[in-house]
């Protein structure tokens, strides 16, 4: 059985407290206060009353001031208040209701009317509490399901990225490093007015999540080309460049299977397709120039090139961080967006820290 609802009666007259208390106690748990200060203490303590019957005319702190203080506190602001007063005038009643009281009862009280009005407000409070609890439950459930969906997305992305990684075995922790670089660079670019319309929290989150799919198209490149220890021939290089188109097409197929647009797939498609474009138009596959290259792909380009330079490949040894930095800086305005390079150089130590955090394991040399 549910616990009885609690009503706080506030009146400086002990006689009035007695009358109201005897009327309400058979149906509710009743608490009483003879001053405004005491009423505020009781109302703010757990459990909070479900309804307050508040006298208007009291010495010291009157009912209107008590009401204002109740409303000003987060813990008591939503407790319904009925003003109880001997001021029997339309103006006084309107003033009380305009102040925010849920009802207005004049003295001398009429027991059936008081009980009916109290019951109405208690039932309304119960209904509001139920709705609030339901809304809280629904909000928590929506948040849980969204978190679950996002986790599934992240796991799926990692699985696909690792599939590509099995074809290009020497990339190691390339996925984790490039994700870190992308997030660092996007966050650093965000304060620049030029990028503010795009680089909000949601965009950066989706871009970081999508980054591992930038080379998904490599699953379609023959091993003889992908793992060739020396330079590629012109014909082989043309085949290698098709991984950008293959990656974009694979993601497009996934988009077609979705019943509605998926935000992160849009960015994943951009970075897979255009992260090898160059600021001056000399990149591939579409020879885009400047701002025609999506921001996502421009960010990914810097992350990808930096990691490629500092990592060991079948055809080269890793470069020192500062050497890679100087090469990337030399590409400012040619290979890379100038503003992005400035932010990269400003945050270079952070890029190095990310690289160190996700270093490839040193292969164990067997005797």
| DSSP bridge pairs for 69 | none
CA separation, residue 367 to residues 188, 361, 362, 363, 364 (Å): 47, 18, 15, 13, 10
One domain, residues 207 and 315: yes
Q: Is the peptide bond before 340 cis (omega within 30 degrees of 0)?
A: no
Q: What is the DSSP letter of 316?
A: B
Report the number of distinct structural domains present in the chain: 2
State which of 95, 118, 137 marks the end of a domain: 137
Residue whose C-alpha is closest to residue 304's, from 136, 194, 181, 124: 181
* CA-only gyration radius of the chain, Å: 34
One domain, residues 121 and 221: no
Angstrom distance (rounded) from CA 179 to CA 312: 18
Which letter, b or e, does each residue of 302-327 get, where b requires 16 or more Cβ atoms within 10 Å of its Cβ? Answer: bbbbbbbbbbeeeeeeebebeebbee
Residue 133 belongs to what H/E stretch?
Answer: helix 111-167
160 occurs within a structural domain: no
State which of 121, 137, 153 marks the end of a domain: 137
The CATH code of the domain that includes 269 is 1.10.3210.10
Range of the domain at 227: 168-357
One domain, residues 216 and 346: yes
One domain, residues 191 and 323: yes
One domain, residues 116 and 256: no
153 occurs within a structural domain: no
161 occurs within a structural domain: no
149 occurs within a structural domain: no
One domain, residues 200 and 338: yes
Query: Do 219 and 233 touch, CB atoms closer than 8 A?
Result: no
One domain, residues 206 and 81: no
One domain, residues 173 and 99: no
269 occurs within a structural domain: yes
Find where tokens 């993601």 sit.
251
One domain, residues 101 and 191: no
In this structure, the strands spanning 81-85 and 51-55 are parallel
One domain, residues 90 and 208: no
Tens-digit pLDDT string for the chain (367 aa): 556 789 999 999 888 999 999 999 999 999 999 999 999 999 999 889 999 999 988 888 888 899 999 999 999 988 999 998 877 666 766 776 777 788 888 888 889 989 999 999 999 988 888 888 888 888 888 878 777 767 666 666 666 666 666 656 555 588 889 999 999 999 999 999 999 999 999 999 999 988 888 888 888 888 888 888 888 899 999 999 999 999 898 888 877 776 677 777 889 899 999 999 999 999 999 999 999 999 999 999 999 999 999 998 777 889 999 999 999 999 999 999 999 999 999 999 999 999 999 987 765 544 4
235 occurs within a structural domain: yes
Q: Is the peptide bond before 298 cis (omega within 30 degrees of 0)?
A: no
At residue 158, the pLDDT reads 64
One domain, residues 260 and 213: yes
142 occurs within a structural domain: no
One domain, residues 310 and 198: yes
151 occurs within a structural domain: no
52 Cβ partners below 8 Å, 6+ apart?
A: 7, 8, 9, 10, 39, 43, 70, 79, 80, 81, 82
Query: pTM for this structure?
Result: 0.60
Structure token pair of residue 162: 């690792």
Instruction: State whether residue 364 is helix, strand or coil.
Output: coil
The CATH code of the domain that includes 27 is 3.40.50.2300
């Amino acid at each position: 059985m549910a616990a009885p609802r609690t009503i706080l009666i506030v009146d400086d007259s002990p006689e009035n407290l007695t009358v109201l208390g005897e009327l309400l106690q058979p149906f509710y748990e009743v608490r009483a206060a003879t001053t405004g200060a005491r009423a505020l203490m009781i109302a703010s303590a757990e459990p909070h009353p479900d309804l307050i019957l508040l006298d208007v005319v009291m010495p010291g702190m009157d009912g209107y001031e008590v009401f204002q203080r109740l409303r000003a506190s987060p813990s008591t602001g939503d407790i319904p208040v009925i003003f109880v007063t001997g001021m029997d005038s339309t103006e006084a009643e309107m003033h009380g209701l305009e102040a925010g009281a849920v009802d207005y009862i004049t003295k001398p009280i009429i027991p059936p009317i008081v009980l009916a009005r109290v019951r109405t407000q208690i039932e309304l409070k119960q209904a509001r509490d139920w709705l609030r609890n339901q809304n809280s439950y629904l909000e928590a459930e929506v948040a849980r399901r969204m978190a679950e969906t996002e986790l599934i997305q992240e796991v799926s992305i990692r699985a696909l990225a690792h599939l590509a990684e099995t074809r290009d075995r020497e990339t190691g922790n390339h996925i984790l490093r490039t994700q870190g670089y992308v997030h660092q660079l996007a966050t650093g670019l965000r304060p620049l007015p030029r990028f503010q319309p795009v680089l909000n929290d949601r965009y950066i989150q989706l871009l970081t999540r999508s980054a591992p799919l930038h080379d998904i198209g490599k699953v379609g490149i023959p091993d003889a080309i992908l793992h060739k220890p020396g330079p590629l021939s012109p014909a082989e290089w043309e085949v290698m460049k098709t991984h950008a188109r293959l990656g974009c097409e694979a993601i497009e197929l996934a988009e077609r299977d979705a019943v509605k647009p998926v935000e992160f797939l849009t960015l994943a498609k951009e970075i897979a397709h255009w992260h090898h474009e160059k600021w001056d138009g000399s990149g591939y596959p579409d020879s885009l120039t400047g701002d025609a290259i999506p921001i996502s792909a421009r960010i990914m380009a810097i992350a990808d090139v930096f990691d490629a330079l500092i990592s060991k490949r079948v055809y080269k040894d890793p470069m020192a961080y500062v050497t890679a930095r100087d090469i990337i800086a030399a590409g400012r305005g040619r290979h890379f967006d100038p503003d992005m390079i400035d932010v990269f150089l400003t945050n270079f130590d952070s890029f190095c820290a990310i690289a160190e955090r996700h270093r490839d394991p040193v292969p164990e040399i067997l005797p």
